[in-house]
Amino acid sequence: MRRIRTEDDKPTIMIVGMGDLSCNVLSLLARDPDTNRLVVAARDVETARRRANLVRFTMHNLGHVPEIEAVRVDLDDIDATAETLAEVRPDIVFMGASLQSWRVITALPKAVFEALDEAQFGPWLPMHLVLNHELMRAVRRSGVETRVVNAAFPDAVGPVLAKVGLAPTIGIGNVANIVPALTYGVAHLTGKDVADVELRLVAQHYFSHYVPRFGEAGRGAYHLTARVGGQKLNGALDHAALFAQLDGRLKRIGGVAGQLLTASSAVRVIEAMATDSGILAHAPAPAGLPGGYPVRVYRDGAMLDLDESLTREDAIRINEDCQRADGIEAIEDDGTVVFTEPQMAIMKSMLGYECRRMTLADAPGWAEELGAKYRAFAAQYA
C-alpha cells in the first residue's frame, strides 16, 4: 500500500536501480532516522524486495527500524513510471540506473582496458543519458514535485537535459570522490589535522578520474583552493606534491569496492536535502551546470559556494574546458552533443563505433549501437 506523506513527515526517498551503488546508498540511508523512509524501484521487483528485506533485517541487528518497500519501475515505460511516481509521491529520487555501468570495461584484460580508457568517459554518454531522459520525462508527466539526485555521468547528463528543461536537481560522485583524499593530502603537506582543512574544488569528471590513477592532472582544467584553520593557503600549496599522494600513500581501492565512496557522496547530498542543512558538499551538475562544484545543499537543491577568487562564469568555463579532455567538445543549445575527434577515434579503432554528433532524440539508437559493438568486442576476451 502506498504512503501519503504529510507536511511534517520525514521525506520519502525513492532509489531507482539496484546496482552496487544503489545498494550501498540504500544501506547507508537506512541507518539514519532522517532518511530511512525508502522505496526501492527496479524492473525486477522480487529481487528489489529481497534486497529491501536484507537491509531491513541488517538494520534490525543494529537497532534501527527503517521503512522500506519495493515497487516495479521500468524506465522504458514512461507512462507507467509516471503513474508509480504519482502514487508513491517521493520527495527525493536517487537515480542509480544506467544502460551500462562505467566499470564494465574494467573487466577487460589490463592492457586492453587501459587502451580503451584513453577514449575517456565522454563517448559513453548515451549509456547514461537515455534512462535519465526517460526518468525526467516521467517526473514531468507525473506532476510530482520531487528532487532528482543523479549518479549516472551527471557532469554531462545534467547540462544536456538542462537544454530542454529536464535537468536533474543535482548529481553525485566524481568531483566529490576526490575531495576526501585531497583533504587528507593537504593535511599531510601542512602538518595540520584533517578536521582543520577545508577545500573548494571546481573540476569535471576527467580530473577526478585521472588524478587518483596517475598522480597528476593530465589535461584536466580545475580550480582548487584550501583553507587550514580558516586561513587560506595563498600560493603555498604544491599541487604536484598533493596530487602525487593520490597515486601513492593515499591510493585507494577502486572498482566495485570503491562504490562505497561514491555512495557516501550521494548520502551526504541526500541527507542535506532531507534535513535542509545547507551543508558544504561537492557535487556535479547542480541545476544542470557542467562539471562539479563546491555547493551548499538545501531541501530544494544546491547553491554554488565558490571561493571568492572565482566567478560563476569562470567556474563553468573551467569545467567546459575539462569536459573536452573527457571527450565532449560541446553541448549545443538544443542538447546536441559534439564529441571530440581524438577520443572518438579510439572508439572507432577499437570498437568500430563512431559518433561525432548526437541529438537527444537519437541517443537511444546510439546507445543500442554502442552496447552491441562493445559486447562483440568484449566477447573476444571472455
* Domain assignment of residue 60, yes or no: yes
Span 363-370, average pLDDT: 98
Domain end position, chosen among 171, 187, 219: 171
* β-sheet bridge partners, residue 147: 92
At 370, the amino acid letter reads: L
φ, ψ for residue 117, nearest 5 deg: -65, -20
Mean pLDDT of the chain: 96
pLDDT confidence of residue 1: 33
Q: Which of 134, 150, 171 is the last residue of a domain?
A: 171
Number of separate helices (H) and strands (E) present in the chain: 13, 15
Is 260 among the domain residues? no
Pick the residue with more confidence: 267 or 102? 267
- Whether 2 shows a pLDDT value over 60: the answer reads no
Q: What pairing do the DSSP bridges indicate for beta strands 222-228 and 231-232? A: antiparallel
Judge whether 113 lies within some domain. Answer: yes
Residue 142 domain-assigned (yes or no): yes
pLDDT at res. 12 = 98
Nearest to 170 by CA among 261, 294, 55: 294
3-state secondary structure 132-157: HHHHHHHHHHHCCCCEEEECCCHHHH
Query: What pLDDT band is residue 8 in, cutting at 50, 70 and 90?
Result: low
| Residue 192 lies inside a defined structural domain of this protein | no
Query: At 189, which helix (H) or strand (E)?
Result: helix 175-190
- The shares of helix, strand and coil residues in the chain, as percent rounded to the nearest 5, are 50, 20, 35
The three grid cell numbers given for residue 296, joined into one nine-digit string: 551548499
Which amino acid, residue 255? Answer: G
Distance CA 20, CA 221 (A): 30
Domain range for 351 is 327-381
Whether residue 148 lies inside any domain: the answer is yes
Q: Are 325 and 216 in contact (CB under 8 A)?
A: no
Residue 182 β-bridge partners: none
The CATH code of the domain that includes 23 is 3.40.50.720
Residue 256 CA: distances (Å) to CA of 41, 261, 307, 357: 21, 10, 33, 32
In this predicted model, what pLDDT tens digit does every residue of 158-213 receive, in sequence order? 999 999 999 999 999 999 999 999 999 999 999 999 999 999 999 999 999 999 99
Domain contains 156: yes
Give bridge partners of residue 68 from the DSSP assignment.
Answer: 38
Q: Does 3 have pLDDT greater than 90?
A: no
Amino acid, single-letter form, for residue 194: V
Strands 279-284 and 292-298: antiparallel
Reported as a single tens digit per residue, the pLDDT across 243-280 is 999 999 999 999 889 999 999 999 999 999 999 999 99
* Last residue in a domain, options 153, 171, 189: 171
In this prediction, residues 94-119 reach a mean pLDDT of 96
Query: What would the mean pLDDT of 337-358 be, rounded to a whole number?
Result: 98
Would 223 be classed as within a structural domain? no
Q: How many domains does the chain have?
A: 2
Average pLDDT over residues 5-27: 87
**pLDDT, tens only, 283-337:** 999 999 999 999 999 999 999 999 999 999 999 999 999 999 999 999 999 999 9
Residue 201 gets which letter from DSSP? E
Give me the count of residues in the chain.
382
